[in-house]
A = this chain, B = another copy of it.
Amino acid sequence: MQTKINIKSLIKEYKPDFQKQLETLVKGFEETRLNESIKYSILDGGKRLRAILALITAEAVRKSKDKIELPKNPALGLALAVELVHCGSLIHDDLPCMDDDDLRRGKASNHKAFDEATALLAGDFLLCYPIEVLLNKTQDVDSFKLHQVSVEFTRAIRSMIAGQALDLELTGKEIHDIELLKKMQALKTGALLKSSIRLAAIIAEANKEQIEALSFFADNLGLAFQITDDILDVTGSTKDLGKTAGKDLNQNKFTFVKEYGLEQAKLIALKLIEEAKDKILDIGIYPDKLLTVADYVISRNN
């Protein structure tokens, strides 16, 4: 099935409004060096893919073809939270003791624009503050369900951290254990991306079947996303990516590309996306925007 919604117009429809919500969130922050560095990293030009996934999943479950204007989308708190966590993880990933990258989203990474200590604390802030945002900005959800969602969200964050640690452990080693590779990717990239879809579905009161199908969709999407990241690390330019290209290869990271080569890795990602799309077709939601994002995940160039 071919979807007719264009990814560019989709991002154009959602990103600026979401950006305004992010700005509102940090507008009242005191003017300190730490807060400047936090704003530097969260107000820059990310794609906001995780946030958009949260917003359109909630709409899909509510069967709304039209955009639910912010701040009325019930997954807004979640969308803000996942995006903030994502930004925080990137700040720490770029630190010298981690991936040591000077470039992020086409500009100096946080510790280069500020300093290592400030970047460390900015990342720290962006790993705990989002839970507060989720708790405070999630509307029309009873306390009990919000409690469950918050617990699952904190688990996604710690999965991400565990995945990052596993990635470091596997780097440079001659390992060919695909299950381990999948596990690492599911933790490192998958968990947070999955939470943006799965928890949006729960918040929007999806039924059990829908939650399961959307969770499957999210798992596949997350893995395909990471495989595509690994492909782009090889095929993309530093300019397009906004971060240093070729780093995984240089650092001898354990990736699908390293294990299978470029063409095979592309096919694996494509198959994951096809399966993902199939899964959400007949579960009584409005799937079109999610299908568009799924296609984009493997066709993007940054």
**Binding site of A, secondary structure by majority: helix, strand, loop or mixed?**
helix
B127 touches A155 (CB 8 A): no
A98 neighbours in B (Cβ, 8 Å): 117, 120
With contacts A121-B165, A127-B127, A164-B121 taken as known, whether A147 is within 8 angstroms of B143 at the C-beta atoms is: yes
Q: How far is the CA of A46 from the CA of B21 in the complex (A)?
A: 42
Closest CB in chain B relative to A128 CB, distance in Å? 5
Chain B residue nearest in CB terms to A143: B143
A158 at the binding interface (Cβ < 8 Å): yes
Q: How far is the CA of A158 from the CA of B131 in the complex (A)?
A: 11
Q: How far is the CA of A123 from the CA of B88 in the complex (A)?
A: 13
**Looking at the complex, which one of B32, B97, B127, B155 makes contact with A165 (CB distance below 8 Å)?**
B32
A135 touches B162 (CB 8 A): no
With contacts A121-B161, A147-B146, A164-B121 taken as known, whether A131 is within 8 angstroms of B131 at the C-beta atoms is: yes
A19 at the binding interface (Cβ < 8 Å): no
Q: How far is the CA of A121 from the CA of B164 in the complex (A)?
A: 8
B154 touches A128 (CB 8 A): yes
A125 neighbours in B (Cβ, 8 Å): 158, 161-162
This chain: copies in complex: 2
**Looking at the complex, which one of B118, B121, B135, B151 makes contact with A154 (CB distance below 8 Å)?**
B135
Q: How many residues of A contact B (CB 8 A)?
A: 41
Digitize A100-125: 1 where CB-to-B-CB distance is under 8 Å, 0 elsewhere. 00000000000000011110110111
B32 touches A162 (CB 8 A): yes
A165 neighbours in B (Cβ, 8 Å): 32-34, 117-118, 121
A135 neighbours in B (Cβ, 8 Å): 147, 150-151, 154
Identify which of residues 132-171 in chain A touch chain B, using a CB-to-CB cut-off of 8 Å: 132, 135-136, 142-144, 146-147, 150-151, 154-155, 157-158, 161-162, 164-166, 168-169
Most buried by B among A92, A128, A166: A128
Chain B residue nearest in CB terms to A135: B151
A129 at the binding interface (Cβ < 8 Å): yes
A155 touches B132 (CB 8 A): yes
Q: How far is the CA of A169 from the CA of B146 in the complex (A)?
A: 37
A95 at the binding interface (Cβ < 8 Å): yes
Q: How far is the CA of A131 from the CA of B127 in the complex (A)?
A: 11
Beyond A32-B165, A34-B165, A92-B121, 10 extra complex contacts between A and B, CB < 8 Å: A123-B124, A125-B158, A128-B131, A129-B154, A131-B131, A136-B151, A142-B143, A146-B147, A147-B147, A150-B150
Pairs A–B under 8 Å by Cβ, sample size 22: A34-B161, A34-B166, A92-B121, A92-B124, A97-B115, A97-B117, A98-B117, A118-B165, A121-B161, A121-B164, A124-B124, A127-B127, A128-B157, A131-B131, A132-B151, A132-B155, A135-B147, A135-B151, A135-B154, A136-B151, A142-B143, A146-B147
